[in-house]
């Protein structure tokens, strides 16, 4: 019997600002508030779905145009979303690449912008479709192959507080040396049971960060450790760090920038290199893989274009015997649910996933996730298995309305509040 497919009758994009601690990286520091966008879809059958993505102005502009365009489309029309987004945004794939100063996610291209927006609509559609059919998102993706998804504890050098008086506070204290990093890891381990740890580096001289990793190795013998200076090192420095840390690291993430630099580090050290900077779109894969520049790609359903796109990335990696892990930017529970569902269906996503989520004190879902033994259970509730907290959404949106100065993430500008002489560091810094 032919029937009409469930049709989208309403699409809403809500920009929000979420509190963020003063986490340091190679370019500067997180602002007190980070923009995110919440996408909501509603169908003619009464199903609703939610998605989450970057909320910076350029993402928001595209998301709003796509929201207009999907109204009237079948809920299941996901394969055409990318082309539709390009069309409605008036963009093309021909863009000069430039380094993204704020995102630390490699080159800034229309492709990444478009895919980041599309991903939130795809996730919202799958959430709604799941609720419509009674199926969890993982089942709509062919079913989970694991019942729990392991996450790694994401360690940051950080200040005790933001320099601005009206900024949100946190109780984690400062972490500005090896001892501080170990204390942070211990708290993560106690609170959430994380077994593997990733340290965001590129903040201090490599020697200090090497010491921090060694201290972690001592405090957590045998636990998987990662170090990520976001391309902050030269090839020579990367080679030295690799020699110093040897087998302590399960992988070294973006020690240096660019495919050729990464390939040289690999060739000279044999170290396992991961990336969320030199391979961030499908167009960068062929050259990077051919040159053996990366051995682990950090998937991210946001900028790779959604959950199906993540599966496609996984297939490409599997085909080339390249491993897969998962990247994270500051995010809330909607994205965490999507990350968990997709990680549960991808067999070759064998590393513990990154997530900033433990650093966020706020959420837009009624029952925020709790990491237990360093992992999240993959549930069988329909859709993503989360429910939007409308009061929280409204509060965070109000904040967005009142803080136009925070509509775009800019870690360089945030650092300048503390240090007026700070300018965007040229990479490599060391």
Of the listed 88, 112, 162, 200, which one is catalytic? 200
Residue 270: both structure tokens together: 């044999």
Q: Is 291 a catalytic residue?
A: no
**Nearest-approach distance from CB 281 to its own copies, in angstroms:** 10
Residue 164: both structure tokens together: 């601005």
Contact between 220 and 185 under an 8 Å Cβ cutoff? The reply is yes
Q: Which residue from 80, 218, 243, 391 is in contact with its own copies, where contact means CB under 8 A?
A: 80
- Cβ atoms < 10 Å from Cβ of 88: 18
Distance of CA 37 to the CA centre of its chain: 14
Distance CA 141, CA 197 (A): 29
Q: Which residue has the tokens 């969890």?
A: 136
**Nearest-approach distance from CB 301 to its own copies, in angstroms:** 14
**Nearest-approach distance from CB 403 to its own copies, in angstroms:** 37
- Cβ atoms < 10 Å from Cβ of 264: 18
Which residues ranging from 369 to 388 are in contact with its own copies (CB under 8 A)? 379-382
Tell me if 272 contacts its own copies by CB under 8 A: no
Interface pattern 281-300 for its own copies (x via CB under 8 A): -xx-xx---x----------
Any idea how long the chain is?
Answer: 430
Q: Which residue from 60, 63, 117, 135 is in contact with its own copies, where contact means CB under 8 A?
A: 135
Closer Cβ to its own copies, 142 or 270, answer by number: 142
Tell me if 139 contacts its own copies by CB under 8 A: yes
Tell me if 72 contacts its own copies by CB under 8 A: no
Burial class of residue 397 (count of CB atoms within 10 Å of its CB; 0-12, 13-18, 19+)? middle
Q: Is 327 a catalytic residue?
A: yes
- Terminal Cα-to-Cα distance of the chain (whole angstroms): 66
Q: In 85-147, where do the E strands start and end?
A: 98-99, 107-108
Distance CA 159, CA 156 (A): 10
**Nearest-approach distance from CB 313 to its own copies, in angstroms:** 8
Of the listed 30, 131, 327, 356, which one is catalytic? 327
Tell me if 77 contacts its own copies by CB under 8 A: yes
Distance CA 239, CA 231 (A): 13
Which residues ranging from 312 to 341 are in contact with its own copies (CB under 8 A)? 312-313, 315-316, 318-321
Residue 226: both structure tokens together: 């990662």
C-alpha closest to that of 337 among 374, 395, 380: 380
Contact between 178 and 134 under an 8 Å Cβ cutoff? The reply is no
Q: Which residue from 345, 364, 375, 414 is in contact with its own copies, where contact means CB under 8 A?
A: 345
Tell me if 78 contacts its own copies by CB under 8 A: yes
**Nearest-approach distance from CB 374 to its own copies, in angstroms:** 23
DSSP 3-state assignment of 398?
A: helix
**Nearest-approach distance from CB 136 to its own copies, in angstroms:** 8
Which part of the chain contacts its own copies (CB under 8 A), choosing from 34-42, 79-87, 95-103, 329-337? 79-87
Tell me if 134 contacts its own copies by CB under 8 A: yes
Residue 224: both structure tokens together: 């998987």
- Give contact residues for its own copies (rule: CB under 8 A): 1-5, 74, 76-80, 83, 132-136, 139-145, 282-283, 285-286, 290, 308, 311-313, 315-316, 318-321, 345, 347, 379-382
Which residues carry out catalysis? 200, 327
């Amino acid at each position: 019997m032919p029937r009409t497919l469930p049709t989208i009758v309403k699409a809403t994009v809500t920009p929000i600002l979420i509190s963020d601690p003063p986490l340091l990286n190679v370019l500067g520091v997180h602002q007190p508030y980070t923009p995110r966008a919440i996408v909501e879809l509603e169908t003619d059958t009464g199903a609703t779905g939610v998605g989450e993505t970057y909320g910076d102005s350029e993402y928001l502009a595209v998301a709003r145009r796509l929201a207009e365009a999907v109204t009237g489309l079948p809920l299941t029309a996901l394969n055409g979303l990318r082309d539709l987004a390009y069309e409605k945004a008036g963009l093309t794939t021909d863009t000069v690449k430039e380094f993204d100063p704020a995102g630390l996610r490699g080159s800034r291209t229309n492709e990444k912008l478009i895919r980041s927006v599309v991903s939130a609509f795809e996730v919202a559609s799958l959430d709604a479709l799941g609720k419509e059919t009674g199926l969890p998102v993982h089942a709509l993706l062919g079913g989970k192959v694991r019942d729990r998804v392991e996450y790694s504890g994401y360690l940051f050098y950080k200040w005790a507080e933001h320099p601005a008086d009206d900024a949100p506070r946190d109780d984690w204290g400062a972490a500005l040396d090896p001892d501080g990093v170990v204390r942070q890891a211990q708290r993560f381990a106690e609170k959430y049971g994380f077994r593997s740890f990733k340290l965001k580096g590129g903040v201090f001289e490599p020697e200090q960060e090497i010491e921090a990793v060694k201290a972690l190795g001592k405090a957590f013998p045998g636990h998987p450790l990662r170090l990520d200076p976001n391309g902050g090192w030269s090839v020579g420095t990367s080679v030295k760090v690799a020699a110093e840390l040897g087998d302590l690291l399960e992988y070294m993430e973006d020690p240096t920038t660019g495919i050729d630099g990464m390939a040289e580090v690999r060739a000279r050290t044999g170290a396992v290199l991961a990336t969320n900077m030199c391979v961030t779109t499908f167009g960068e894969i062929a050259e990077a893989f051919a040159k053996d520049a990366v051995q682990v790609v950090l998937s991210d359903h946001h900028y790779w274009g959604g959950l199906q796109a993540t599966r496609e990335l996984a297939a490409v990696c599997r085909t080339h015997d390249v491993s897969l892990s998962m990247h994270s930017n500051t995010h809330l529970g909607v994205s965490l649910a999507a990350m968990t569902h997709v990680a549960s269906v991808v067999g070759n996503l064998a590393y513990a996933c990154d997530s900033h989520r433990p650093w966020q004190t706020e959420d837009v879902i009624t029952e925020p996730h709790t990491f237990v033994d360093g992992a999240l259970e993959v549930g069988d509730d329909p859709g993503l298995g989360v429910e939007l907290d409308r009061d929280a959404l409204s509060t965070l949106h109000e904040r967005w309305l009142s803080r136009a100065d925070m509509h775009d993430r800019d870690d360089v500008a945030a650092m300048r509040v503390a240090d007026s002489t700070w300018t965007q560091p040229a990479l490599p810094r060391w």
